[in-house]
Structure 1
Amino acid sequence: MKIGILQLNPWINDIEGNALKIEQGAKEAFAKGAQIVITSELALLGYPPRDLLLRKQVLNRCVKSARRLAENLRLLGPVILGCPWVENLKVFNAALFLEDGQIKTWIGKTLLPNYDVFDEQRYFTAFTKDKVVENKWGKLGITICEDIWNDKEFWQRAFYPEDPVAGLANAQVNVLINLSASPFTVGKQEVRQKMLAYLSKKYSFPVVYVNQVGANDDLIFPGRSMVFNANGEMIYRASSFKEEIAVIDIYTKTDFPEKGKIPREEDIFRALVLGVSDYVRKCGFNKVVIGLSGGIDSSLTAVIAVEALGPKNVLGVLMPSCFTSKESNEDALQLAKTLGINTYVLPIEDIRQSFVNTLHPIFRGLPEDVTEENIQSRIRGNLLMAISNKLGALLLTTGNKSELAVGYCTIYGDMSGGLAVIADVPKTMVYKVCKWLNREVEIIPSRVLVKPPSAELRPNQKDEDNLPPYEILDKILEFIVEKNMEPEEIIKLGYEEAVVQKIYRMVRIAEFKRKQAPPGLKVTDRAFGTGWRMPIAAKI
């Protein structure tokens, strides 16, 4: 049985454009010998469509487009299409079975995730009927994404009362098919692969997993569609972070070459490149602007942008003040030269002094503090936004997850922008990714990787004046943000009580800043995006 896999990059709400891409992909797959073709989850609308699912016109357009697609492919073969479906005023996350020019039947998603970035119970009704499609190849078991993530033996617990895969095994299906839109997080691929291999071996049926690729808002989808034979052997894995159309005979023995494990640094970098490329393109931009400070965060952001968009579409702006070191300017210009991007140097000292003079009647007699530091950041933010407006270039912010977590950033200053590229990358991982980039040729000036990190907003400033070393900070933040641990639990692990309490408080009081930050690309298990729903006005 030869199955065509359409690992495509949909544009949310471009229903007609997505349909054309699916049609062209299906024709290519059938031409290669496919007997049936499968898309990813909600491929016709794009995932996640969020509140578009509340609009009747959108749902109607999807169904009309699906019917046209069935008609256009009627002479080629059946297609299992990811598409929302409405029945009895209820909306289902569905897989439509297109054959002979019509929608023959449909099967809905049973397990509706409602955690982290997922909010499917807001939109969909759980499907509780038979999930089997019978045709000349036997019984096809149809599942959608979360439906396969509930094997109590693999996870050593059950997340939902029902296990659709076990039900399909009892129905003696010949093959398990899964339409997915499973987002990227670093390290998740290994878990996903082990789980699929476990299911195919446990139930002795082939597993076909088709995943979405591309980025939509804060979520990045890696692709990496997979096929396992009935022995639990992987016989196909699609490319990472790019579209791919393949035809796989699911009953072949494994001849899939074992590939070495992808370094986490590379995985994060490639994911962020796709995230920037798709966000810029799908929001209607073709170029970006970045504030270059000579620091490691803006350096990494610039490299990602150039890889995603090409050097001619990236503009770097240096905005030195009297506190900016000569070395920082040199490093920023050297990076720009290496990357081949255009730069402007806009000194802000005169503007800064003008702010100080204007505010003097109100500030007279008060000591200088973070207020004056923030003025510099906000001047830079204003200049960058003006450039963004005038040139039609999306402003990329350069702050990392560690800074965003503790509020070590300036609202309306360095937080200004349209996309926070590395907002989910901890500072220690920023260094690791940069060292990986420099593994063969120096891209980021070596001095950037060794000098103490500093915002350079006052004389001789260092990040460690206000924060513990990032190796300690990032570990504590992991416990707080990703593991939901309380200070007392972290202290018991051997961390200094005063440090833990300080960091915990900083995380809580910075919530108002994060609510006003631009969207950030998600690469860890828990980011400060759609999956982070903390109150602002809450007692610490």
Structure 2
Amino acid sequence: MATVLRAVLAQLNMRVGDIDGNLQRILDSSVQALHHQQADLVVFPELSLCGYNAQDLLLRDSMQIRIERALERLCTALPHNLHVLVGYPWLEQDSRYNCCAHFYQGKIQSVYKKQFFPNDPTAFAQRYFKPGHQALCIDINEIKVAIGIGEDIWQSAFIEQACTAQAKMIVSLNASTFHLNKQAERERMLSHHAQHAQMPILYASQVGAQDDLIFDGGSCTVDEQGNLRQRAPAFTEELCMVELQFTHSTSHVERGICEPLLSEEASVYQALMLSLRNYVEQNGFKGVLLGLSGGIDSALVLAIAADALGADKVQAVMMPYHYTAQISQDDAAAQAHNMAVDYKTIAIAPMVEAFSQSLAPVFADMPSTANDTTEENLQARCRGNILMALSNKNGYLVLTTSNKSETAVGYATLYGDMAGGFALLKDVPKCLVYRLARYRNSLSSVIPERVITRAPSAELSPNQQDADSLPPYETLDEVLRLYVEEEQSAQTIIAQGFEQEMVMRVLRLVDISEYKRRQATLGPRISKRSFGSDRRYPVTNHWQRGD
């Protein structure tokens, strides 16, 4: 006769530092899993009590005190007839561990300490945690269940531990960060390990966003043949039920709801919406504002912001100067109307001319008196001042609009278009910006077609186009991908057919722009290697670029 085990994977948005709030989410979800879904087991994400990634909050003395109180509360308040797995940090003899507690019958039955840590620059796990050295299996309905946390499930050594212990299934607690196509990578790994171990794997993951990190959820279950049997919706909180049946020698996983995988454009768009929404709401901003130029980048930022927060919490400001084309002003106004956001026009000519007049006597004594990037940057900095002044008055967060391609080569102005509190497109290459704009218009047409089809320009000088200063974006983005994300040398990139002079010029721009990126605001990470904690290069850098 088969033994049935009903498990709920609690895909929740846990908040860093909000131990009381996270505790209440665990209690509420456990009650719901038991009474509405008749669960035997509920699994919460990695470090769910303190939130992920808590960083140096983990080092504070009060963290341990608050965690101890939370664990005591869980012992008394969780349903006694429900098995519950909860992740938390624990300090023991001056060593800190990433732990999972098994709650049942009003007490902690056992504790597992995470054994393996990724070489992941976004987590700094080894700064905070020591590895455990003991595998753990628990019994639920006489089914032996192996417990893992995060990186454990990626390691063959952990899978071998579960097999040696004669476990019947594996449960993995996770707070896995998002990047493009990450879910497919996870599921391939889980399928491979499940087939090797000949046992089902339950994968519970966090959803939400924390600063630059995004957690897409991705909670899922694979059976002992490696077949996907359940997948939670991405970027959404969900209590995911899965029913398993075990006999003496086999297991069967009932097919649950398998949400379809999102397209690349849909997954990035939803990731950016989630990141912005969490950042604005959890940091107490009333809304957001941005400079709407009539160009593609600000058009996409406006669309994401309005979709994420609602039109009533978004303000767009057109700040024209002499070089701003009339079609840019028309298209900006049209999109603002399409999305029903608050829209203002503030001309910057009086401010730019006042600066120019004040500086003219000083500039007259300098070797070059011709207009150059100095005058262009004055325009951008006047716009930045306007946006920051509005932000100070109304408590709205300023969104910058530079994309990853521009950020890489320094095609942005410090204290100008880089001024703001959140860089929504910081990790989005220019070509992907266009794809996302097309994707958004496929849902409903809000971005004027001309914004997508016209040649990109900063409009800081007469008839200026990006192509005057940069290679075509299709070429630039691929060179940047190879150099920044793949860490390939100049010679390796050139050997793939790219023109040598262009490659060396692009790589030089990337290297000399590090000082700008150090002063840039944070933005959501959607690639395997973003500008931030992923990639740390010295500002003063004399490395040979051909290497």
Q: How does 1:486-505 map to 2 (within 5 A)?
A: 486-505=489-508
Aligned match of 1:40 in 26, 45, 65? 45
Counterpart-to-counterpart distance in 2, 1:466 and 1:351? 27
Q: Whole-Å Cα distance in 2 between the matches of residues 18 and 257 of structure 1? A: 26
Deviation at 1:68, TM superposition (A): 0.3
Q: Is the 8 A contact 1:228 1:250 kept in 2?
A: no
What code does the residue aligned with 1:70 have? Answer: C
From the superposition, tell whether residues 176 and 440 of structure 1 become closer, same or farther in structure 2 (CA, over 3 Å): closer
1:74 to partner: Cα distance: 4.2
How do 1:151-300 residues align onto structure 2 when only pairs under 5 Å count?
A: 151=156, 163-251=157-245, 252-253=252-253, 255-256=255-256, 261-300=261-300
Q: CA deviation at 1:169?
A: 1.3
Give the Cα separation in 1 of the matches to 2:65 and 2:97: 13
Aligned match of 1:443: 446
Q: Kindly tell me: are residues 72 and 258 of structure 1, through their superposed partners in 2, closer, same or farther at Cα, counting changes over 3 Å?
A: closer
- Given that 2:230 and 2:257 are in contact with CA atoms closer than 8 Å, whether structure 1 keeps it comes out as no
Structure 1: runs of 5+ lacking an equivalent: 152-162
Equivalent residue, structure 1, for 2:362: 362
What is the deviation of 1:285?
Answer: 1.2
Tell me, in whole angstroms, the C-alpha distance in 2 between the residues paired with 1:55 and 1:80. Answer: 24
Letter in 2 for 1:3: A
Say if 2:26 is the partner of 1:22.
yes
1:429 lines up with 2:429 in the alignment: no
Identity %: 38
Alignment partner of 1:322 is 2:336: no
Which residue identity is paired with 2:23?
Answer: A
State the partner residue of 1:159: none
Matched to 2:234, the amino acid is S
- 1:384 match: 387
Task: Identify the residue that residue 14 of structure 2 maps to in structure 1.
Answer: 10
1:287/1:394 contact within 8 Å kept: yes
Matching residue of 2:412: 409
How far the C-alpha of 1:258 sits from its partner, in A, is 6.4
- Report the alpha carbon displacement of residue 78 of structure 1 after superposing the two structures with TM: 1.9
Letter in 2 for 1:350: P
- Distance in structure 2 (CA, Å) of the matches to 1:412 and 1:485: 31
Question: Is 2:148 aligned against 1:148?
Answer: no
2:50 alignment partner, SS class: coil
Deviations along 1:119-163, one digit per CA (max 9) or x if unpaired, are 100000001013222354332111111111133xxxxxxxxxxx2
Q: 1:511 Cα shift?
A: 0.5
Deviations 1:37-86, CA, capped at 9 Å, x for gaps: 11000011110111111112112212211220121014341210011112
Partner residue in 1 for 2:58: 53
> Does the 8 A contact of 1:511 with 1:534 survive in 2?
yes
Distance 1:177 1:258, change over 3 A: closer
Deviation at 1:261, TM superposition (A): 4.4
Per mean C-alpha deviation after superposition, the further-off stretch among 297-306 and 82-91 is 82-91
Deviations 1:329-351 (CA, angstroms, capped at 9, x unpaired): 00100000000001110000111
CA contact 1:181–1:212 (8 Å) conserved in 2: yes
* Superposed displacement of residue 206, structure 1: 1.1
Deviates more, 1:46-55 or 1:133-142: 133-142
Shift of 1:200: 1.2
Contact 1:401–1:425, Cα closer than 8 Å, also in 2: yes
Secondary structure of 1:502 counterpart: helix
In structure 2, distance between residues paired with 1:244 and 1:510: 42
* SS in structure 2 at match of 1:262: coil
User: What one-letter code is carried by the residue in structure 2 that aligns with 1:475?
Assistant: E
Q: Distance in 2 between matches of 1:347 and 1:499?
A: 37
CA–CA distance in structure 1, aligned partners of residues 7 and 159 of structure 2? 20
CA distance in 2 between partners of 1:39 and 1:323 (Å): 55
Relative distance call for 1:78 and 1:529 in structure 2 (3 A) is same
Shift of 1:488: 0.9
Q: Deviations over 1:469-510 (max 9, x none)?
A: 000000000001100011111011110000000000000011
Match of 1:158 in 2: none
The AA in structure 1 aligned to 2:183 is Q
Distance 1:4 1:286 in 2: 35
Q: Which amino acid aligns with 1:25?
A: S
- What is the deviation of 1:4? 1.5
> In 1, Cα distance between the equivalents of 2:142 and 2:357?
80
Instruction: Give the letter for the 1:24 counterpart.
Output: D
Q: TM-score, normalised by structure 1?
A: 0.96
**Relative to structure 2, which stretch is displaced further, 66-75 or 515-524?**
66-75
Q: Indicate the SS of the match to 1:81.
A: strand
> What is the one-letter code of the residue matched to 2:342?
N
Mapped to 2, the partners of 1:291 and 1:481 lie a distance apart of 28
Matched pairs, number: 529
Match of 1:333 in 2: 333
**2:133: which partner in 1?**
128
Whole-angstrom CA distance in 2 between matches of 1:450 and 1:470: 14
Amino acid of the residue matched to residue 11 of structure 2?
Q
Select 1:526's aligned residue among 504, 526, 529: 529
Report the residue type matching 1:97 in the other structure: H
Q: Call closer, same or farther: CA 1:55–1:114 in 2, change over 3 Å.
A: farther
Q: C-alpha distance in 1, partners of 2:88/2:259? A: 33
Instruction: Determine the structure 1 residue equivalent to 2:96.
Output: 91
Question: Aligned equivalents of 2:282 and 2:295: distance in 1?
Answer: 29
Please tell me whether the aligned partners of residues 75 and 100 of structure 1 are also in contact (alpha carbons under 8 angstroms).
yes
Partner of 1:474: 477
Quick check: 1:65 aligned with 2:70?
yes
For 2:408, what is the secondary structure of its paired residue? helix
Deviation of the 1:400 alpha carbon: 0.3
Q: Which amino acid aligns with 1:13?
A: G
Tell me, in whole angstroms, the C-alpha distance in 1 between the residues paired with 2:60 and 2:115.
22
Deviation at 1:294, TM superposition (A): 0.5
When structure 1 is superposed on structure 2, of 272-281 and 194-203 the one drifting more is 194-203
* Partner SS state of residue 226, structure 2: coil
Q: Tell me, in whole angstroms, the C-alpha distance in 1 between the residues paired with 2:463 and 2:202.
A: 58
- Secondary structure (helix, strand or coil) at the match of 2:308 reads helix
Q: Quick one: distance in 2 between partners of 1:470 and 1:394?
A: 29
Residue of 81, 87, 110 corresponding to 1:82: 87
Root mean square deviation, CA, Å = 1.3
CA contact (8 A) 2:242 2:253 kept: no
Distance 1:313 1:259, change over 3 A: closer
Contact 1:229 1:250 in 2 (8 A): no
